[in-house]
Amino acid sequence: MKTTRKCRGFTLIELLVVIAIIAILIALLLPAVQQAREAARRTQCKNNLKQLGLALHNYHDVFNRFPPGSFPPGEGLSWHVALLPQLEQAALWGKFETGGHALARWDSAAVNLPLCRDYRLAAYFCPSGTKERADDTALNYTTHYYGIMGPTGINPQSGVAYSENTSGAHGGFSREGMFYIYEARLMRDVLDGLSNTMVVGENSWTNRKGNATRYRSWTRGGVVNDLMAPCKNVAQQINADFTALFNDMSYGSNHTGGAQFLFGDGSVSFVSENVDYNLLLSTASVAGGEAKVLGQ
């Protein structure tokens, strides 16, 4: 006799229960996946800064000084360009005009400007920062790592104002940090100790409380009494509100709760946005003598 087998399917309720369970599992796993990805991006950002620290030390070994914030005088090139040979980019370095004439400007259309739009260096970008193009020239690439010109305001140890050129229309230029516009620091200038001094900070945030970014081309240097594109003063708390003064824009990132900083000894630390502000100022100076503030 021929028998027939009756196939039983899922009921609608059973199907909805299964879908609900899968949705709950995805909802539970998704934050963990996102956290893992952000942890990986943060680690890569830290590695980028370590590479810059190693490059800065190699530069000092070759030239017995760190690179200036900008070179040559005039609307010149950034310290990022000076560091290219130490980042295994000697061929790219050779394409730049760095002499003391008009073609050495960062925006020289004949030589230097095209290089800024044609070359994207991964070492100059935080993976969590999605902004890659500059605001001054939209075709150019920017950078997420800025040299520290130093603190502004009052030294918390001495009670005396930090030295700064205050005539700049965009916030002035601190003279207390690792990078000044045309001056090169030596290791012996860092009297506070390399391990106590921040030299490069992360600025990779995309949008802060509805305020637009002000990223500049990665090859752009600075002009005395005006704008310093590759460096910033430490004049605000990390991830602070936006300021109209370009040189005083706060360091910050898309990492939760703070930003990464490279110290003079080559170490990298994630600094909380809630760090004591006097401590932040103290670690931004090379010779402020803020030993008590630093707990030493």
Distances (CA, A) of 294 to 28, 186, 195, 196, 197: 42, 22, 11, 8, 10
Stretch 259-275: mean pLDDT: 95
Enumerate residues 6+ apart whose C-beta is below 8 A from 217. 106, 116, 134, 136, 137, 140, 141, 142, 229
pLDDT of 63: 96
Domain contains 12: no
Stretch 140-165: mean pLDDT: 93
With a cut of 60, say whether residue 67 has pLDDT above it: yes
pLDDT in tens, 96-135: 999 877 788 999 999 999 999 999 999 999 999 989 999 8
Residue 181's domain comprises 39-284
Domain count, the chain: 1
pLDDT of 296: 45
Domain contains 57: yes
**From CA 97, how far away is CA 167, in angstroms rounded?**
30
In percent, the amount of the chain with pLDDT more than 70 equals: 89
As to burial, measured by CB atoms within 10 angstroms (0-12 exposed, 13-18 middle, 19+ buried), residue 244 is: exposed
Domain contains 179: yes
Phi and psi at residue 271, to the nearest 5°: -105, 125
pLDDT of 241: 77
Please, where are the H alpha helices in the chain? 12-63, 79-82, 90-93, 112-118, 277-284
The mean pLDDT of the chain is: 88
Domain contains 191: yes
pLDDT-wise least confident of 117-126, 158-167, 274-283: 158-167
pLDDT band at 217 (very low <50, low <70, confident <90, very high): very high
Domain contains 293: no
What's 170's DSSP letter? T
**From CA 148, how far away is CA 97, in angstroms rounded?**
25
Higher pLDDT, 9 or 287: 287
Stretch 45-65: mean pLDDT: 97
With a cut of 50, say whether residue 247 has pLDDT above it: yes
pLDDT band at 33 (very low <50, low <70, confident <90, very high): low
pLDDT-wise least confident of 29-43, 76-90, 271-285: 29-43
With a cut of 60, say whether residue 6 has pLDDT above it: no
Domain contains 216: yes
**From CA 16, how far away is CA 24, in angstroms rounded?**
12
pLDDT of 5: 58
With a cut of 70, say whether residue 271 has pLDDT above it: yes
Distances (CA, A) of 47 to 51, 115, 145: 6, 25, 12
Nearest residue to 173 via CA among 237, 236, 244, 247: 247
Higher pLDDT, 39 or 230: 230
Domain contains 245: yes
**From CA 246, how far away is CA 240, in angstroms rounded?**
14
Peptide linkage before 72 cis (omega within 30 of 0):
yes
Stretch 260-285: mean pLDDT: 95
**From CA 171, how far away is CA 196, in angstroms rounded?**
25
Domain contains 102: yes
pLDDT band at 268 (very low <50, low <70, confident <90, very high): very high
pLDDT-wise least confident of 44-53, 226-235, 284-293: 284-293
Higher pLDDT, 202 or 225: 202
For the chain, state the CA radius of gyration: 24
Enumerate residues 6+ apart whose C-beta is below 8 A from 189. 286, 287
pLDDT in tens, 7-17: 565 677 777 77
